[in-house]
């Protein structure tokens, strides 16, 4: 009788484990299907620039302490009335934001949408790096300042239209036209610069 009970318990455990594995496989398949469907529904940003030339530069990650594995592709996400053409990097308020590349501070700006923003042109003036929603600028930062990769630009915040409880850096990369006007350039997906096309 005791051997029969032990045998039934062992069978019950194996059946339970089998059901658990099957449920896990089904859940993973559902998540993968939803992720694929979500990516298929994601609107494509027309005319986006190729990120490959920037990959070759080994750009610095702009938020101190954040790793590539923590990035989430928010480029081309739908937003109220437009398509997001940037990478949002969530981090605690006051986290250091550093220059991704060598270049020049082209403009310091504050607006209702982007809040405190730094516009940095690379050395060749081929690209503009836009750091928005900053809590504050780096002390003493001025237009015309030369930045080196890793130089302090400012601090993560929620200025502009950022949700007050979600401090993050809104990073845009724009391939400039010969006129050097950042808002007329072609957007580059920053996520693909660090993570590559998925």
Convert the pLDDT of each residue in 64-117 to its tens digit.
Answer: 999 999 999 888 777 777 677 888 999 999 999 999 999 999 999 999 989 999
- Which range has the worst mean pLDDT, 24-33, 123-132, 150-159? 24-33
- Which range has the worst mean pLDDT, 34-43, 69-78, 140-149? 34-43
Is pLDDT above 90 for 1?
A: no
CA distance 159 to 164: 8
- What phi and psi, each to the nearest 5 degrees, are found at residue 65? 85, -10
What's the CA dihedral at 125, 129, 132, 134 to 10 degrees? -90
- For residues 188 and 51, the answer to whether their CB atoms sit within 8 Å is yes
pLDDT, position 167: 97
Task: List residues bridging with 175 in a β-sheet.
Answer: 127, 186
CA distance 169 to 158: 8
CA distance 129 to 138: 16
pLDDT, position 135: 97
152 burial type by CB count under 10 A (0-12 exposed, 13-18 middle, 19+ buried): middle
pLDDT, position 42: 44
- What phi and psi, each to the nearest 5 degrees, are found at residue 156? -55, 140
Residue with tokens 């101190």: 64
pLDDT, position 8: 61
Q: What is the pLDDT of residues 49-61, one digit of tens each?
A: 888 899 999 999 9
pLDDT, position 12: 64
- For residues 128 and 182, the answer to whether their CB atoms sit within 8 Å is yes
Is pLDDT above 90 for 147?
A: yes
**Cβ-count burial 14-50 (b if 16+ within 10 Å, e if not):** eeeeeeeeeeeeeeeeeeeeeeeeeeeeeeebeebbe
State the DSSP string of 51-116: SHHHHTTTPPPSBTT--GGG----TT-EETTEE--SEEEE--TT-EEE-SSSEEEEEEEEETTTEE
Q: What is the pLDDT of residues 172-186, one digit of tens each?
A: 999 998 777 766 788
């Amino acid at each position: 009788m005791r051997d029969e009970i032990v045998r039934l318990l062992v069978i019950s455990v194996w059946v339970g484990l089998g059901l658990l594995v099957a449920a896990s496989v089904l859940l993973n398949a559902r998540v993968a299907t939803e992720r694929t469907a979500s990516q298929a529904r994601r609107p494509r940003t027309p005319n986006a620039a190729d990120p490959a030339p920037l990959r070759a530069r080994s750009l610095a990650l702009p938020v101190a302490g954040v790793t590539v594995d923590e990035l989430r592709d928010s480029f081309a996400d739908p937003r109220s009335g437009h398509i997001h053409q940037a990478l949002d990097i969530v981090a605690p308020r006051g986290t250091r934001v550093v220059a991704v590349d060598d270049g020049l501070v082209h403009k310091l700006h504050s607006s209702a949408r982007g809040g405190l923003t730094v516009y940095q042109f690379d050395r060749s003036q081929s690209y503009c790096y836009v750091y928005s929603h900053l809590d504050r600028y780096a002390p003493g930062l001025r237009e015309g300042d030369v930045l080196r990769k890793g130089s302090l630009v400012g601090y993560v915040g929620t200025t502009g239209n950022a949700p007050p409880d979600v401090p993050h850096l809104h990073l845009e990369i724009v391939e400039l036209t010969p006129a050097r006007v950042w808002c007329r350039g072609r957007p580059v997906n920053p996520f693909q610069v660090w993570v590559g096309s998925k």
